[in-house]
Amino acid sequence: MQSHTLLGLAAALTLACGTAQAAKIELVVDYPYADVFNTVHAEIARRFNEKYPDYTVKFRAPTTEYETAAQQALRHAVTGQLADVSYQGLNRQRVFVDRDIAVDLTPFIQAEPDWAASGYSPALLSLGQVNGKQVGIGFSLSTPIVYYNMDLISRAGGDAKALPKTWDEIIALADRSRQANPGTNGLHYDWEITGNWLWQAMLFSKGGQLLSADEKTVAFDGDLGRESIAQMGRMVENGTMQNLKFKDAVQLFVTGKLAVLSTSTSRLASIEKQIGGKFPMVTGFFPTYGEQARVPAGGNVAMMFAKDPERQKAAWAYIKFATGPEGATIMTQGTGYFPANTLPIDDPAMLKGYYDANPNQYTAVRQQPWLTGWYAFPGENGLKITDVIHDHLQTVFDRSAQPQTALQDMSRDVQKLLK
């Protein structure tokens, strides 16, 4: 009798252990930009596992940039190796919708009883919407901003409380700084970042658009496009901006040899760390012009690629945690990005005190009224179009082509790829 009882108990324990093991799901997650996100993702995963002990997170080796992340995921879709959750650039979501890889998150959102109070505003959610589907939830968001070395700028008559409002004013201030500080550079505009983000920013900030409403015709070659490319030309025509790679320009900036740098808020934490106490640095708005002005959001969203229902359940729990108040606080404090969740921004226990103590980080948050989507080009040639734009912008900044000629060539080549 006792042996039967022991056998029954052993069988029950075996069954219980088997059930526990079955409930243990290891989520596969991939993301780009190791130098920015390694520590952040590791901490989010650790805290997620504490809250959800039946789930663990396995990270793949990070990719180097958004374009590489998208290409890797497309290869994995062919070989059946897709991650359960993938962090993709805002402008790369579309390709996964076109290929039926992305999972529509709308049913998961609709099943949440208190979603309206979860901190996901319609405007921020819209950044993860493609063709009427909610395919991404914002994780880390950025905007282009302008960084100023106030040691150099103040010697040229600049004032942190009255920063320039237009690009021509910025160029003029950068030139005065070069004169007042011999041996230093004036300006660097990070036009290369992701191929065309700061081209979009320059165009959108004037109320322009990239393509026609039906996306069949180039629209950036009109008056606003011509003014945008001319503005870029004015940055380099008198030597205000040198033809430097970003890594060289940022090295000049953090060592006090460059007056003005325009790039993403995502660089802020790294730049501040490298500057240390060498000089005071302030950030200012990306210049905008008129009521139709917009600034494209950069950054990435969490996308679900898992197809198995149980893995989808785990993936949704992870996405909610990573993009929710706790994950957003970890991400913001560890990078220069701002969150796509509104709850931690005004919470003293999360980011309210942090932004009070770090006003340079708050600049991007204050630009939210001008925020618009990071445009993704349609069709099979979407990634190629980005490369074409990059190559033609290069000719403006290395002065191998006149700005208007570069724009005409860019328009012609993009139009071919649209067809």
State both tokens at 291. 């009521």
pLDDT at 24: 87
Closest Cα to residue 296, out of 66, 142, 404?
142
Closest Cα to residue 87, out of 106, 65, 109?
65
Q: How far is CA 402 from CA 22, 188, 241, in A?
A: 64, 19, 16
Confidence of residue 20 (pLDDT cuts 50, 70, 90): very low
DSSP per-residue string spanning 271-338: HHHHHTTSS-EEEEPPP--STT--EE-EEEEEEE---SHHHHHHHHHHHHHHHSHHHHHHHHHHSS-E
Instruction: Report whether pLDDT(225) > 80.
Output: yes
State how beta strands 85-89 and 25-30 pair: parallel
Q: How far is CA 131 from CA 100, 127, 376, in A?
A: 12, 12, 12
CA distance 220 to 274: 37
Average confidence (pLDDT) over 145-174: 97
Average confidence (pLDDT) over 336-352: 90
pLDDT at 360: 94
Instruction: Report whether pLDDT(2) > 70.
Output: no
Closest Cα to residue 124, out of 376, 320, 373, 375?
373
Q: Which residues contact 281 (CB under 8 A, 6 or more apart)?
A: 147, 148, 149, 150, 271, 272, 275, 360
Q: How far is CA 322 from the centre of its chain?
A: 15
State both tokens at 200. 């979009």
pLDDT at 401: 97
pLDDT at 379: 84
Other CB atoms within 10 A of residue 187 CB: 25
Confidence of residue 269 (pLDDT cuts 50, 70, 90): confident
Residues above pLDDT 70, as percent of the chain: 95
Long-range own/partner contacts, residues 409-412 (CB < 8 A, 24 or more apart): 410/220, 410/221, 411/218, 411/220, 411/221, 411/225
**Which one-letter amino acid corresponds to residue 4?**
H
Q: pLDDT tens digit string along 278-315?
A: 999 999 999 999 999 999 999 999 999 999 999 999 99
| Cα-based torsion angle of the residue sequence 349, 352, 358, 360 in order, rounded to the nearest 10 degrees | 150
pTM for the whole structure: 0.86
Confidence of residue 352 (pLDDT cuts 50, 70, 90): confident
**Structural domains of the chain sorted by starting position, each given as residue range(s) with its CATH number in brackets:** 25-142+298-372 (3.40.190.10), 144-296+377-418 (3.40.190.10)
